[in-house]
Structures are given as C-alpha cells and as structure tokens.
C-alpha cells in the first residue's frame, strides 16, 4: 500500500475507535464484531477494550495470513495495533456519551463505525476481528463483506443478553449492527460501482487510442448502422469505474465535442481490471 493508503486507514481507524468510545461504550450499547466482544468483557471485568481487542486479533491474524497472504497480515497487524492504540488513548478520556439519547448514540455510532470500516476495506486493509473472517469468505464467494459481518454480529450481540439480562440493550445493539452493515455496503458499492459507456463518433479511432493510452481501459469496437441515415457507423463500448467517467468525458470532448454518448450503471463487472470472478 502507498503512504496515502496508510494515512486514510489511520484516519478511519481513529474514527472507528471514536465511534465506540464516544457513542457506544458509554451508552452500554454492545455492537458487533470482536470490538463488541471486547466491550462485553469490559462491562463484565473492567479490562480496557484495547487489551482484549489486541489479544483476540492476534489469534485471528494467524488465520488471515494463512488464507489471504502475508501482505494482508502486515496490513492487518497495522490496523489491529493502531485500533487498539486509539482505544487505549480515547477510552480513558471519554467517560460519558457525547449525546444523551441512547437511540441517537446507536445510530451515530453505527454510521461512524460502519463507514470507517468500509473506508478501511476500500484501501485493502482490515480492522481485524470479524473483518478477517468476512474478507476470507469474500475472497472465495461473491458475498458482500457487510453481509458476512452482519451474520456474525447477530451471535455476538445476542450474547449481550447473558450479561445485561436486558432486551433493550440487545435491541440497541441490533440497531447499531444494521446501521453499520448498511454503511459498509453503501461505501463499498460506491467505491466499486462501474458504468458502461457507448460512444458514437466518426473519430472513434482517435477516441479509442486516447482512452486506452491515457486511462488504461480496454475498448470493444462494434459495427453498427444508423437506422435513419442507413450509414455504417462504429460504436465504442468501454466499462470503467464511476470515478473514471469524468476522465473519459474529457478525453472524448478533446477529440470530438459532438460525440454521442450513452452511460448506464452495471450491477457488477468481473475480470481483468475489475473484481475477480467468484463461485
């Protein structure tokens, strides 16, 4: 990863620790993941979350390295250590929730916690814990990481009833879980979303060369015929990430400002340059 990626991950990890220490833990809301399990242990024994979080991540890291490679292990070690460090700094400083309303704490904590985890995923990193399990499953099956985490979180949050003997605590945990899972999926979908572009222009060769050389995306050339004019015409088909569309528009405009362009969202793109095919 680049220095920029590590910087983004660091900010996201701080935001994740802040979500827990400022909203969830002071309000006695048990969220999901290994962090939620660490929070349960904190409520039960008083052991700071930072210590139990780091210890459990160390065990899960062994499985992550085995299935995802040493590169994953390095990124996850960084994520686990930094997240524990931020918990160690923030938890002693925050004793009361930032907002008094428990439901609002669950919502805000879920949004901030889920978005921060999703941001880490977009950079190829991990916060450790159930994220490791989710990334392993996502590697071999086309199941969103947010959905895998949701299933695992149900078990962890349900166990909070054994400690608090309160359905209210468990329900707030489910609210946080649902909001966090949705936030992760929305962020990841936005990052991976792709579009398919049809480009009609008599200068198609120059446009194709420019897109290929400057943006690095492959192009398919289709032979067509205009129904009204009855003239033969070439159609360029290119699939790009949504954030690359502005680059394509710029390239086309520089060659042929009068080009006709059709843009459509696609559900998924698999293959070279996009997501790997899973079964």
Give 122-181 pLDDT, tens digit per residue: 777 777 787 777 777 877 777 766 677 778 888 899 999 999 999 999 999 999 988 988
Model confidence band, residue 73 (pLDDT cutoffs 50, 70, 90): low
Assess whether pLDDT exceeds 80 at residue 254. Answer: yes
Interval 267-273 mean pLDDT: 72
Cα angle: 199, vertex 203, 208; to 5 degrees: 60
Q: What is the pLDDT of residue 83?
A: 94
pTM to 2 decimal places: 0.70
Could you report the per-residue pLDDT of 224-235, keeping only the tens digit for each?
888 888 888 889
Locate tokens 């890291």: which residue? 61
Q: What is the pLDDT of residue 36?
A: 94
Q: Rounded to the nearest 10 degrees, how much is the dihedral formed by the CA atoms of 223, 227, 230, 235?
A: -20
Tokens for 39, please give them.
């929070």
Could you report the per-residue pLDDT of 26-47, keeping only the tens digit for each?
999 998 889 999 999 999 999 9
| Fold of the domain spanning 194-266 | Alpha-Beta Plaits (3.30.70)
Q: What is the pLDDT of residue 145?
A: 66
Q: Are 128 and 38 in contact (CB under 8 A)?
A: no
3-state secondary structure (DSSP) of residue 36: helix
Q: What is the pLDDT of residue 66?
A: 78
How far apart, in whole angstroms, are the C-alpha atoms of residue 119 and residue 105? 21
Q: What is the pLDDT of residue 6?
A: 87
Q: What is the pLDDT of residue 257?
A: 92
- What residues contact residue 185 under an 8 Å CB cut-off, 6+ apart? 118, 144, 146, 147
Q: What is the pLDDT of residue 191?
A: 64
Q: What is the pLDDT of residue 123?
A: 79
Considering the chain, what is the average pLDDT of its residues?
A: 86
Q: What is the pLDDT of residue 172?
A: 95
State the distance between the two ends of the chain, measured CA to CA, in whole angstroms: 27
How far apart, in whole angstroms, are the C-alpha atoms of residue 191 and residue 144? 13
Tokens for 222, please give them.
């289709």
* DSSP string of 94-137, one letter each residue: --S-SSS-HHHHHHHHHHHHHHHHHHHHHTT---STHHHHHHHH
Q: Where are the domains of the chain?
A: 3-192, 194-266
Could you report the per-residue pLDDT of 4-29, keeping only the tens digit for each?
888 989 999 999 999 999 999 999 99
How far apart, in whole angstroms, are the C-alpha atoms of residue 144 and residue 131? 11
Tokens for 24, please give them.
């969830």
Interval 245-260 mean pLDDT: 90
User: How far is CA 182 from its chain centroid?
Assistant: 10
Could you report the per-residue pLDDT of 81-109, keeping only the tens digit for each?
999 999 999 999 998 888 989 999 999 99
């Amino acid at each position: 990863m680049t220095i920029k990626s590590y910087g983004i991950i660091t900010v996201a990890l701080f935001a994740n620790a802040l979500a827990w220490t400022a909203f969830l833990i002071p309000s006695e809301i048990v969220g999901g993941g290994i962090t939620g399990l660490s929070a349960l242990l904190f409520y039960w024994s008083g052991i700071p979350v930072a210590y139990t979080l780091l210890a459990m991540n160390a065990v899960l890291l062994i499985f992550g390295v085995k299935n995802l490679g040493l590169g994953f292990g390095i990124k996850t070690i960084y994520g686990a250590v930094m997240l524990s460090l931020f918990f160690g700094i923030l938890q002693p400083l925050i004793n009361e929730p930032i907002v008094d309303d428990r439901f609002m704490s669950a919502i805000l904590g879920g949004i901030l916690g889920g978005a921060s985890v999703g941001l880490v995923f977009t950079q190829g990193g991990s916060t450790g814990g159930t994220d490791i399990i989710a990334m392993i499953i996502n590697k071999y099956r086309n199941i969103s990481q947010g959905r895998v985490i949701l299933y695992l979180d149900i078990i962890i949050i349900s166990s909070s009833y054994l400690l608090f003997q309160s359905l209210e605590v468990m329900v707030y945990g489910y609210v946080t879980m649902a909001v966090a899972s949705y936030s992760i999926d929305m962020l990841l979908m936005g990052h991976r979303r792709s579009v398919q572009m049809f480009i009609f222009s008599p200068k198609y060769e120059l446009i194709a060369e420019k897109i290929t050389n400057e943006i690095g995306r492959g192009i398919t050339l289709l032979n067509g015929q205009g129904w009204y004019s009855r003239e033969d015409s070439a159609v360029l088909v290119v699939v790009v990430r949504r954030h690359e569309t502005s680059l394509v528009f710029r390239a086309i405009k520089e060659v042929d400002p009068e080009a006709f362009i059709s843009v459509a969202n696609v559900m998924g793109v698999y293959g070279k340059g996009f997501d790997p095919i899973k079964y």
